[in-house]
Amino acid sequence: MSANKTGAAGAEASDLNPEQVVDYLARHPEFFENNGSLFATMAAPGRWQGGGVVDIQKVMLDKRLEEIEELRNCAIEVIETSRTNMTVQTRTHAAVLALLTAATFEQLVRVVGEDLPLLLDVDVAIMAFEAGDQSLAALVSSETRYLRKGSVDELIGEDKDVRLIRELNDDGTVFGGAAGLVRSAAFARLRPGRTTPAGMLALGSRSGTFHPGQGSEMLQFLARVLEACVQRWHGNRS
């Protein structure tokens, strides 16, 4: 019984003639509006003239132009994203090389405070360290900041290594005298070592450079390099 019905349905479908199709389309004028994808499989007719006649060729052409424009916009977006990623990667590599060339801890501190803002195209870059059992004498200076114990977790979040902030309200705890200049910021955790307390690298920008939706892989990589440099030089002094 089911097979007979299927066969009958197939026969009925195969018996459709052009007049029936035309009749159906006439009774459903919204058909192509709701099924625009069919234009991609249809052969373009010649241009028709006359009042009340839809120019199917123009409709199909417009549909193709829309698809081309969408592909063009997508390609532009991919290219711009690639360029941005390459720029960020190049800047990060330059910053890492600057950190690695520091011959002393004092030079490392100067690289962070003076060179990183230029290399990373930000306005402020600082290192901040928490109070702890480890000595802070060699870490706290005019180029570094002192934080009360537990501040890094509060500022970045427990179990997180990076925080990107679109709108920062800093009372000077992080950026000191430059707090009023900073609008957006990026915080990257510097994990404690044998002779160094917990800390963080803070980058600040007067524009909306940072926002939560950004990738943070390069920033995390930079923080790991700085972390190793801090532990190396401060460890050598201890």
d(CA 36, CA 150): 59
> pLDDT value at position 5?
47
Give percent of the chain with pLDDT exceeding 90: 24
Does residue 215 surpass a pLDDT of 60?
yes
CA distances (Å), origin 163, targets 74, 139, 213, 216: 29, 23, 10, 9
CA distances (Å), origin 203, targets 24, 133, 212: 65, 26, 14
- Whether the pTM exceeds 0.85: the reply is no
Residue 147, classed as helix, strand or coil, is strand
Any idea which of 117-121, 152-156, 207-211 has the lowest mean pLDDT? 207-211
Does residue 181 surpass a pLDDT of 80?
yes
Domains of the chain: 90-237 (3.30.450.40)
DSSP 88-134: HHHHHHHHHHHHHT--SHHHHHHIIIIIHHHHHT-SEEEEEEE-SSS
Nearest to residue 129, comparing CAs of 174, 93, 170?
174
Residue range 3-21: mean pLDDT, rounded: 59
pLDDT tens digit string along 56-108? 666 667 777 777 777 777 776 666 655 655 677 888 888 999 999 988 888 88
Any idea which of 41-50, 62-71, 198-207 has the lowest mean pLDDT? 41-50
Location of structure tokens 């097979």: 3
